[in-house]
Amino acid sequence: MKKYIGAIDQGTTSTRFILFNQKCQIIASSQKEHKQIFPKPGWVEHDPLEIWQNTKEVISNTLKSSKINTNEITTIGITNQRETTVVWDKFTGKPFYNAIVWQDIRTNNICEKLKSHEKLIKSKTGLPIATYFSATKVKWLLENIIELRNKADKGEVLFGTMDTWIVWNLTGGVNGGIHITDVTNASRTMLMNLETLEWEKKLLEIFDISSNILPKIVSSSEIYGKTKINNLNDVPISGILGDQQAALFGQTCFEKGEAKNTYGTGCFMLMNTGNKPVYSSNGLITTVAYKIGSQKVIYALEGSIAIAGSLIQWFRDNLGLIKESAEINELASSVDDNGEVYFVPAFSGLFAPYWNSGARGAIFGITHFTTKGHIARAVLESVAYQAFEILEIMQSDSGYPISELKIDGGMTASELLMQFQADILNMPIVKPKISETTALGAAYAAGLAVGFWKNMNSLKNILKTDKTWFPQMDSQKRKKYLDKWKKAIERSKDWE
């Protein structure tokens, strides 16, 4: 009997496999971290073969621990870190280079040279020219890896984001692997036309990228093919969503004006804007939210914060002020407030709404009074300030007021941060009982394609609220905090 849905969650720091039942309860899961590779300042890479190996291991471990048979799994959904770019040999399955991660800023010079095309690129894709997206990473690889362009011209090279890499390997790899990407991931490459949902020929010419390396663009929810690996054979794959769109879908933000914020490695806020794209004049990204089968595509506005949970890891590993990540909450709670200390975590420049790759991280306001507790608190508060800036612009650009913010991700475990977030936003923030909303979104998309769930309305009844934080800060204090934050941001810009 088919009782379960599997979700592969291939993230920036780890890969997980989760089995859900029809009530969306987690039956079993397994997780494995992969190496973060930093060859030069600003360069961030992953080993695609390590990630594929980890994917197989977490699937195997989950099935072993749960004693669930493959024939009990209805289908599989996939969610993934977006923009991270892999190119591999079509005939051997070997990557030509490490995966270049979304955080990587090596393509700064390429971006500068493309500035004359910015208006066209933004009108076609909804994206600003930035190192963040896949197209400049592909261009860099083609220009810097010996023989790659020659092999690409001969049809020997495949390109994909991590969803494409995982699906290709899951469905047979060199023995007939399916080369696809869904509309949400394709919309992050800077190569897809946002309205036609097809690869844009003019952009391929600008970036000098051959169309024969590109995957086929498919919807977020349809049967793509079946698995062909030893420990999971002949199971349909029927859902793909980039991680932040998956969280939006998992939070059941199906109506215009509904928004969620994910507090993970980075911090990502998305708002559903319906079946017409809303273009931002204030630095937000216009992106595809999801496309369910043959239904009309749904768009979103997005604001991306590069450094959120990874800032806690940096605080732990580089400064050594705590031994475990969770200890930052106790340290931050040891002081009454931030002691006038503000931390701007622009380690890879500033993302939305500034898109300033020259900015660098900075701590302002340090005095003899400052303790490590104040710095810890400033680290946590920096995440809330960045979320405020995005939400403020999101409402302005869309014209849709946001009455509450749905939240998910690892950092929602911080009571201090969540209360401060509600205070700074001056609105309720709502956390669901199911914390794994990214994997859940992929499961939802996969399940809808095979009839595991009846329709999208039935999904709304599944998700229950765990906790709501309400604002408690007075307006004068709130304004003071925000004014100081904005001053800190201005001073961190254009360090280079």
Residue 101 pLDDT > 80, yes or no? yes
Mean pLDDT confidence for 90-113: 94
Domain limits of the chain? Answer: 4-242
Q: What is the pLDDT of residue 54?
A: 96
Residue 472 pLDDT > 90, yes or no? yes
Q: Tell me: the pLDDT tens digits for 179-218?
A: 999 999 999 999 999 999 999 999 999 999 999 999 999 9
User: Tokens representing 203?
Assistant: 């952009």
Residue 175 pLDDT > 70, yes or no? yes
pLDDT band of 263, cuts 50, 70, 90: confident
Residue 140 pLDDT > 70, yes or no? yes
Superfamily of domain 4-242: ATPase, nucleotide binding domain (3.30.420.40)
Q: Tell me: the pLDDT tens digits for 350-408?
A: 877 787 878 888 899 899 999 989 999 999 999 999 999 999 999 989 888 888 999 98
> Quick one: CA torsion of 357, 362, 365, 369, rounded to 10 degrees?
160
Neighbours of 234 (CB within 10 A): 9
Type of residue found at 469: W
Q: Tell me: the pLDDT tens digits for 37-80?
A: 999 988 999 999 999 999 999 999 999 998 888 888 999 999 99
Contact (CB, 8 A) for 240 and 77 = yes
Query: H helices then E strands: how many in the chain?
Result: 16, 21
For the chain, give the percent of residues with pLDDT over 70.
99
For residue 428, CA distances in Å to 153, 173, 255 come to 53, 46, 18
Q: What is the pLDDT of residue 269?
A: 92
Residue 266 pLDDT > 90, yes or no? no
CA distance 286 to 133: 13
Mean pLDDT confidence for 127-134: 91
Q: Tell me: the pLDDT tens digits for 360-372?
A: 888 998 999 999 8
Type of residue found at 449: A
For the chain, the farthest-separated pair of C-alpha atoms sits apart, in whole angstroms, at 66
Global confidence as pTM: 0.86
Q: What is the pLDDT of residue 496?
A: 61
